[in-house]
Amino acid sequence: MVMLENVRQRCDEFDLLHFHLDYYPFSLFSRQRTPFITTLHGRLDLPEHQPVFKTFGRTPIVSISNSQRRPVLQANWIRTIYHGVPEELLTPRPTKPVYLAALGRIAPEKSMDRAIRIARRCGIPLKIAAKVDPVDQDYYEQIIKPLLDPPLIEYVGEISDQEKSEFLCGAIALLVTIDWSEPFGLVMIEAMACGTPVVAFNRGSVPEIVEDDVTGYIVEDELSAANAVNRITQLDRRQVRKRFEERFTARRMALDYMGAYREVMQIDKPRLKVVTSVEN
Cβ atoms of 250 and 161 closer than 8 Å: no
- Nearest-angstrom CA–CA distance, 95 and 171: 9
Residues 211 and 106 placed together within one structural domain of the fold: yes
Q: Which residues contact 177 (CB under 8 A, 6 or more apart)?
A: 102, 110, 111, 112, 114, 115, 118, 200, 201, 225
Query: What are the beta bridge partners of residue 39?
Result: 62
> What value does the mean pLDDT take over residues 79-83?
98
Q: How many CB atoms lie within 10 A of CB 1?
A: 7
pLDDT in tens, 182-209: 999 999 999 999 999 999 999 999 999 9
> What is the pLDDT, as a whole number, of residue 150?
86
pLDDT in tens, 124-183: 999 999 999 999 999 999 999 999 988 899 999 999 999 999 999 999 999 999 999 999
Cβ atoms of 257 and 80 closer than 8 Å: no
- Nearest-angstrom CA–CA distance, 139 and 113: 11
Residues 224 and 264 placed together within one structural domain of the fold: no
Reported confidence tier of residue 280, pLDDT bands at 50, 70, 90: low
Residues 103 and 233 placed together within one structural domain of the fold: yes
Query: What percentage of the chain exceeds 90 in pLDDT?
Result: 91
DSSP 3-state percent helix, strand, coil across the chain (nearest 5): 40, 20, 40
Reported confidence tier of residue 275, pLDDT bands at 50, 70, 90: low
Is 91 a member of any domain? no
Query: What are the beta bridge partners of residue 38?
Result: 19, 61
Tell me the chain's radius of gyration from C-alpha atoms: 21
> What is the pLDDT, as a whole number, of residue 221?
96
Cβ atoms of 91 and 238 closer than 8 Å: no
Residues 6 and 143 placed together within one structural domain of the fold: no
Helix residue spans in the chain (DSSP H): 2-9, 26-29, 49-55, 112-122, 137-139, 161-169, 186-193, 206-209, 222-231, 237-247, 250-265
- Given a cut of 50, whether residue 15 has pLDDT beyond it is yes
> What is the pLDDT, as a whole number, of residue 152?
95
Domain of 144: which CATH number? 3.40.50.2000
Q: Which DSSP string do the residues of 10-43 spell out, in sequence order? A: TGGG-S-EEE-STTTTHHHHTTSSS-EEEE--S-
Reported confidence tier of residue 245, pLDDT bands at 50, 70, 90: very high
Is 233 a member of any domain? yes
> What value does the mean pLDDT take over residues 39-66?
94
With CA atoms as reference, report the closest residue to 115 among 148, 139, 141, 142: 148
Residues 243 and 253 placed together within one structural domain of the fold: no
Reported confidence tier of residue 273, pLDDT bands at 50, 70, 90: low
Q: What mean pLDDT value characterizes the chain?
A: 94
- Given a cut of 70, whether residue 277 has pLDDT beyond it is no
With CA atoms as reference, report the closest residue to 157 among 140, 132, 134, 139: 132
Is 48 a member of any domain? yes
> What is the pLDDT, as a whole number, of residue 168?
98
pTM of the full structure: 0.91
> What value does the mean pLDDT take over residues 50-60?
93
In three-state secondary structure terms, 163 is: helix
For 108-143, letters b (16+ CB in 10 Å) and e give eebbbbbbbbbbbebebbbbbbbebeeebeebbeee
pLDDT in tens, 212-222: 999 999 999 99
Residue 241: domain span: 99-247
> What is the pLDDT, as a whole number, of residue 278?
67
Q: Which residues contact 113 (CB under 8 A, 6 or more apart)?
A: 143, 144, 147
In three-state secondary structure terms, 247 is: helix
How many domains does the chain fold into?
2
Residues 131 and 260 placed together within one structural domain of the fold: no
> What is the pLDDT, as a whole number, of residue 233?
93
Residues 45 and 157 placed together within one structural domain of the fold: no
In three-state secondary structure terms, 175 is: strand
- Given a cut of 50, whether residue 69 has pLDDT beyond it is yes
- How many residues are given for the chain? 280
> What is the pLDDT, as a whole number, of residue 269?
47
Residues 202 and 103 placed together within one structural domain of the fold: yes
- Nearest-angstrom CA–CA distance, 23 and 249: 27
pLDDT in tens, 16-26: 999 999 999 99
